[in-house]
Structures are given as structure tokens and as C-alpha cells.
Amino acid sequence: MHVARKRFGQNFLVNEQIIADIIRAIHPQENDTMIEIGPGLGALTRPLIQHLKQLHVVEIDRDIIQRLENDYTKGQLIIHAGDALKFDLAEVEGPLRIVGNLPYNISSPLLFHFSDYAERIIDMHFMLQNEVVERMVAEPSTPAYGRLSVMLQYRFHMEKLLDVPPDSFRPAPKVDSAIVRMIPLPGAEMIVKDEKLFAAIVGSAFGQRRKTIRNTLKAYLAETDFKQLGIDAQQRAENLGVGEFARITEFVGNK
């Protein structure tokens, strides 16, 4: 029996009904090029392989890798051993579909890592801590809306699909989980030329949430700039939509 390892953030999904619901939501097709992040004990791996010609998996735990090698042929399963944060999706020919029960301790860095490959991705379905999913899909002027919301909503359409209670796992985590679907937005909707500047402006704006953007963005915008943009400098970052952050970025980039 495999013992879950804390350093890898392992919680293994065991609820068969939830597993069936997730597979139904993913709707795998025979010729899909699919990558599963952190297959663990195979809760999703087994039903996915029933639908696919071949499945790629990324796994860091050597014991689990050995188990996978014993359970599946190389024709069924291509194993990429190592840290998902360092995995180059360019190793697999696209377009790609990505699924996984992401380790909650590195979920945000993983989401940003996969964002860099958005143009090669069809869709992504992830199990995450519910609090993270709520932040991902949050609307402006709500408590959950923040840097993560803006940076991901700039690149993806996102939808919360399912709630997953702690008792669906072994060991049971201390938090609720949820399934989120992420679909890359068309390139034409990427209206920012300098994405590093966009990230820096969003980071500065949310760096001190209680302050107004007059203060948090003073390194980028003068009082007259806010007037020219038609944006109220008395607002806080949480009041601005993705489009407004994009407009600010383009304005600053053209100054």
C-alpha cells in the first residue's frame, strides 16, 4: 500500500462517483493528446486510458512511477518522471488537453507555468483547493478577486464545475476541493503587447489591497494619466476588470 507523502502534497481521490463525474466533464476522445499531472494511484488514469489510445503522465514519486510501469504498457502510458513545475509541455506534440489533481502546495505556480503554453492547449481540467478555484473565477469587486483572478482570466475562460468534499480522498485533506475547467482565450483577445509589464502592474496594484490605485500605481501613472484613461484613481485594485488592467498596461507601454 502506498503511503501519501506530505512533501509531494499527496491526497488520493477514492470516491468512485466523483471520479465518474470528472471523467464525464473531461469527455476524453480516443485520439486526444492528453497529459495527466500527478496520476497518483490511478483514480483518473484508469478510466482515462479506457477512452484514449495513449496517455502522458507527469509524476515525481518514484514508487508511483514503478507502480505505473508495472500496471500499464509503454504503448498505453508515456511516463515523464520529474517535477511538473519543470516539465516542458513542448516535449509533447500538441494541441494538448491537460488534467490532474494538482498538489495544493504548488497549485498557483503550476497554473502560471501552464499559462505560458496556452497557445498549445485545447483545455485543462484540474482538481484544486476550492478557495483557489473561487479566486480563479471571481468577479471584480468581490472578496476573492485578486492577482490570480486577473492573470488567469486574461488568458483563460474558467468555470467551476464540481465541488469535491474532503471525504472523497485518502488521506482526507483539511480543505474542500473543486474541479475547474480552463479554456484558453483566442489569441486575438490577448490585447497586451508587453505581458511582463501587465504582470508587474497587476502585482503592484494588488500588492497592498487596502490602498487606492493612486498609491499602488504611482510608479506607473500620474494623476493626469488616470483622468486620460477615464479610471477613478480612488478605486482599489479589486474594483478593476481585466480589460482596465490591459488598458493601463498599453497606456504605460506607449508613454
Q: Hey, which residues does 157 pair with through a beta bridge?
A: 183
Q: What is the pLDDT of residue 172?
A: 82
Residue 38: predicted pLDDT: 92
What is the pLDDT at residue 41? 84
Per-residue confidence (pLDDT) for residue 188, from 0 to 100 = 66
Helices (H) and strands (E) in the chain, counts: 10, 9
From the CA atom positions of the chain, what is the Rg in Å? 20
- Residue 2 pLDDT: 40
In CATH, what is the architecture of 195-253?
Orthogonal Bundle (1.10)
CA 208 from centre of chain: 24
Q: Does domain 6-187 have CATH number 3.30.565.10?
A: no
Over its length of 255 residues, how does the chain's per-residue pLDDT go in tens digits? 444 444 444 578 889 999 999 999 999 999 999 999 999 888 999 999 999 999 999 999 999 999 999 999 999 999 999 999 999 999 999 899 999 988 888 899 999 999 999 999 999 999 999 999 999 999 999 999 999 999 999 999 999 999 999 999 888 888 899 999 999 998 767 679 999 999 999 999 999 989 999 999 999 999 999 999 999 999 999 999 999 999 999 999 998
Model pLDDT, residue 4: 40
Segments in the chain forming alpha helices (H): 16-26, 45-51, 62-71, 107-115, 130-137, 147-153, 195-207, 213-216, 223-229, 242-253
φ, ψ (nearest 5 deg) of residue 186: -60, 145
- Parse the chain into domains and list their residue ranges: 6-187, 195-253
pTM attached to this predicted model:
0.92
